[in-house]
Every structure is written in C-alpha cells, then in structure tokens.
Amino acid sequence: MSFLTGRFEPVRREVTQLDLEVRGTIPDWLDGRYVRNGPNPVLGLLAENHNWFTGDGMVHGVRLSGGDALWYRNRWVDSEVTSRSLGRGHPDERHRSPLHGPSANTNVIGFGGRLLALVEGGAASAELSPELDTVDVCDFEGAVRGGYSGHPLVDPRTGELHAVAYHFGRGSAVQYTVIGPDGRLRRKMSVPVGGSPMMHAFSLTKDYVVLYDLPVTFDADAAVIDLPRPMRPIARLALDATVGKVRMPRTILNRLPPVPAGRFPYRWNPDYPARVGLLPRSATDASSITWIELDRPCYVFHPMNAHNDDRSVTVDLVVHERVFDEDPSGPTEGKPRLERWCVDLRARTVRRTRLSDEHLEFPRMDDRFATSASGQGWAVGGSDDDMGERKLVRTAGAEGVVVERDFGTASSVGEFTFAPSSATAPEGDGVVLGFVTDLAASSTDLLILDAQTLEDVAAVRLRQRVPAGFHGNWID
C-alpha cells in the first residue's frame, strides 16, 4: 500500500487563507484554534521505500472566534533535515536530540501557554508560534533531551504532563517524566523493559502509569538498508552498540548521518513477549513495577482512557493483531478493534473483552475526565482492506458503538477531538471537531458536530486539501 497517493498525497505549499466560508453556525463559545499534525514529505519519495510514520511534519490549523473562521494555515515543522530541503533556517538541535531527521509529525498540543509539535523515537519536538511557525526545539529547558513522546497525557486533577519516551539509544529502557504546569521537570525515571520496543503510547490512572511492552521492536537491518552497501556493516554495528548489544566508541556513534524520510526501523517481532506494566505513580524508582503477560501477541497505538480501583485497572483501547510484519509501510495488517482490558491486581491477569467488531482507530474522549471511569468516547472507522477511515462513531463504555455517521466511500475522515461547551459542562456536553476530505472534489472541511448525535453544527470550507494525518487538538 502507498502512503504517498490518494488520501495520503502530500500538499506542496504553505498557505494562509483568511475569512473562510462557513456553513451553519459556529458556537460563539468556540474561541481558539483547531490544530492537527501529520506527515507531509517535503521531497518526492519512492513508495516502496516509504513508511507513513517517517514523513516531515506539517501542522494544519483553523482559528475560530465569535462565530467566525478567521484563518486557515498550514506550516511544515522545521528541523535540521526538513528545513534544509525547504531552504530555510531551523532551530539548533545539537545536544538536544540524538536523531536528526524529518520534523515532528505526530501530535500538536497546547500546554503551559505553549503550542508544541510532538514526535517520538528520539527526534526533536518543537515549539510553535500561535500562527504555527516553528520557534525552537521543545525539550522543556533541557529536562527531556534525547527525545520525547508523541502521546503525553495531562492529569486533569493536577495539570501535570506525563510522558513515556522510547528511543533505541536507551537500550532496554524507556523514560517516564512528569512536567509541571509551569513547564518545569518534576520527575524523571528510567524504566527497564524487555528490549527496545516501539512504545507509541501509555495510559494513566489516578494511581498507575500503564506501560505497553509489545512485540514491535527496533530492527537495525531495516534502519541501514537505504545506506550505501559499504556503509551498512559499520552503521549496523553502531546501532547495535546504541541498543547495548555490543560496545563501540561514542565518537563513532556520533558520526551517524542525518536520516531522511523513508523506511521505518521498527518491525513486528514474534519472539518478543507481549505484556502490560503497572508502575505506581507514588514509586520513587522502577523496582515496584508489576509486569503481566498477555494471552496472545498484539499491538496498541492508541488507548482511549484508563482508571483503577483497589482491585483492578480498566483500560479501553484500540488493539491491532499485528503491525509492520509483512507490510513495513504502515499499520495495515492489524484489523484494529476496540477492546476493554481488565487487569486484576491480585491475580495478575488481564481479561480482554472486545467492545466492537468494527474497524476503529484514533479513539478520543472528553479529556477533562481522563483517569476516571469515563462513559464515552469518539473514534473513526472504516475498512480492514485499505485503512480508509470514512466513519465517525461515538462509544459508550461497555456498550461499544452507540452512534455512527458514515460520510461515504469517497471521504477521508481524520481524528476528531472533543471541545466542551464550558469548563464545567457535564461529560460529553459540547462538540467534536475534525477534518473530512471529499476525495472526489479534492477539498477539505473542518466539521463541527454535536458530540452526542454527530449531526452538523457547522462546517468551515478550506481552499486546500488536507492529507490524511495523525493527531490534533482543540486549544482554547
């Protein structure tokens, strides 16, 4: 499958559009920006060499205020590699990130009054201006150098930003950090894991950090395959040294070349045990973590929510049977389904229950109720055959899908995010926002839908198509 054509085809220019056309009525309490990040390779790539996750990051944003849509902007996130291709300057990444490659392409959040474009795996995250231009590398004043996470979580009770970061250079460990609302580091902890896994996301409850140590792991052969053949042995040796398999001088490790968009160095590993880790949030080190093996292998990109009581931890999440096995280009093999995992704290077992038989991904919730027993969420759905999300659904806990809206076979539906009607509104009282592209017309709308019924509230017509991408948020 190609992630460079059709719904994924990159756009080739940055634009600013003012006074956008609106159908319906934008609620006047929506005063802020809808922003979304995703891969948009700067240079032409060969489809057979490309993985969707490796494209240069591009943030798309729409500013809403007073019932009007004031602007749409799209901007590449600057990095050493991306900006060199664009012929413009970039923030200094030296000693702030171990990997120099395509720019942050995974998520974009608001935290502590800052707009942050995020990525995982050791590359640099970035701080953006309100108009989406790159300002600087985001490493929280040096507190999280060495890479961050594409999926940090804010605890709504404390306002703290929790993250679990992985990078093959950490060897058999991931890094757990907590950043305070003031942007300062409060905790940093190295957590041993089974190898060098791709830990795309984690979950948070009031008492636990939930880690997913699953069988997608670093593959040095895949990482060096695009290098000239004479360079591959030394590069592979350097990468093996980085993950702790052999010893090698740091001076050689530091000479690894910048990595362009292209292949993805993580693959399905059938020999790697799948397990869940429960790290008490009160722990001072990782020795108190509890690991529980799953009954069968799988992979998780996106949990919806988690909570715990004295006896169990409950997680609702989208589960793939496998990814990056026969198809290294993207997550096409997994048949993603919404499940509920109930972790028995005494028996140390995980009971898995399927909540829906539909192909679902990109689950979201009312983030004000994170870490509590939230009753509902939203996800996009489609086909197991082509990763073509064309539906939006609302879920209600153990009931699974309770409302569904199908936009048609010629539609590409991105992740939708929830915005409450007020800070004190009941759970789910508000709207959901997301991009929907008409593939036949090659045009995109920002849709604002009633969060309960998924019916139209308003639509903002953009004069540029938005490619299928990853994650976004509503930022007041």
DSSP assignment letter at 222 = H
Phi, psi angles (nearest 5°) of residue 399: -75, -15
CA distance 395 to 375: 8
How far is Cα 402 from Cα 338, in angstroms, rounded to an integer?
13
> Which among 36, 4, 17 has a CA at the least distance from the CA of 447?
36
Q: Are the C-beta atoms of 358 and 337 separated by less than 8 Å? A: yes
Nearest to 152 by CA among 185, 192, 129, 194: 185
Strand residues in 167-298 grouped as ranges (E): 173-179, 185-192, 203-204, 208-213, 216-218, 266-268, 275-280, 290-293
Residue 242 lies in a domain: no
Is 357 a residue whose pLDDT tops 70?
Answer: yes
Q: pTM of this prediction?
A: 0.92
Determine the pLDDT at residue 227.
Answer: 47
Res 100: pLDDT = 83
Rounded to 5 degrees, what are φ and ψ at 181? -60, -20
More reliable by pLDDT, 136 or 248: 136
Nearest CA-CA partner of 355 in 292, 404, 402: 402
Reply yes or no on whether the pLDDT at 388 is more than 80.
no
- Residue 431 forms part of a structural domain: yes
Q: Which residue has the higher pLDDT, 264 or 155?
A: 155
Residue 287 has pLDDT above 50, yes or no: yes
| pLDDT, averaged across the chain | 90
Whether residue 261 has pLDDT greater than 80:
no
CATH of the domain at 384: 2.130.10
Q: Is the pLDDT of residue 191 over 90?
A: yes
How many domains are there within the chain? 1
Confidence label for 220 from pLDDT (cuts 50, 70 and 90):
confident
Backbone angles phi, psi at 222, to 5 degrees: -65, -30
* pLDDT greater than 60 at residue 160: yes
Element holding 432 (H helix, E strand): strand 430-438
User: pLDDT category, 252, cuts 50, 70, 90?
Assistant: very low
pLDDT(102) > 60? yes
Residue 235 placed within a domain: no
2-6, 30-34, 187-191, 297-301: segment of lowest average pLDDT = 2-6
What is the C-alpha separation between 228 and 230, in angstroms, rounded? Answer: 6
Binning pLDDT at 50, 70 and 90, where does residue 244 land? very low
Among 386, 381, 459, residue whose Cα is nearest residue 414: 381
For residue 144, is pLDDT > 60? yes
Which residue type, as a one-letter code, is found at position 130? P
* Residue-range definition of the domain harbouring residue 283: 6-217+263-475
Please give the pLDDT value at position 222: 58
Burial of 14 (0-12, 13-18, 19+ CB in 10 A): middle
Specify if 232 maps to a domain: no
If you average pLDDT over residues 85-90, what whole number do you get?
91
Q: Does position 265 have pLDDT exceeding 60, yes or no?
A: yes
Percent of the chain with pLDDT over 70: 89
The alpha-helical segments, DSSP class H, found in 254-397 are none
CA nearest neighbour of 167 among 123, 201, 204: 123
Lowest mean pLDDT among 36-45, 165-174, 293-302, 467-476: 36-45
C-alpha 468/C-alpha 236 separation (Å) is: 33
Mean pLDDT of 108-129: 96
**Domain-embedded: residue 1:** no
Is residue 91's pLDDT more than 50?
Answer: yes
Q: Which two tokens stand for residue 264?
A: 């993805």
- pLDDT confidence bin for 448, thresholds 50/70/90: very high
In angstroms, the CA 184 to CA 429 distance is 32
pLDDT digits (tens, 9 = 90+) for 4-49: 889 999 999 999 999 899 999 999 999 999 999 999 999 766 556 7
8 A C-beta contact, residue 274 and residue 295: no
Asked whether the predicted pLDDT for residue 189 surpasses 90, the reply is yes
β-pairing verdict for 377-381 and 391-395? antiparallel
**Residue 180, amino acid:** G
In a domain, 226, yes or no: no
**Rounded CA gap, 323 and 331, in Å?**
5
Residue 243: pLDDT over 60: no
Q: What is the pLDDT of residue 97?
A: 87
Cβ-contact 126, 136 below 8 angstroms:
yes
Q: Is the pLDDT of residue 136 over 90?
A: yes
What was the pLDDT predicted at 239? 47
Residue (of 73, 70, 72, 61) closest to 14 by Cα position: 73
What is d(CA 288, CA 279) in angstroms, rounded to the nearest whole number?
7
- Give the pLDDT mean for 239-247: 43
Residue 420 lies in a domain: yes
Domain membership of residue 231 (yes or no) is: no
Q: What is the pLDDT of residue 476?
A: 93
pLDDT class for 99, splitting at 50, 70, 90?
confident
Q: Is the pLDDT of residue 147 over 60?
A: yes
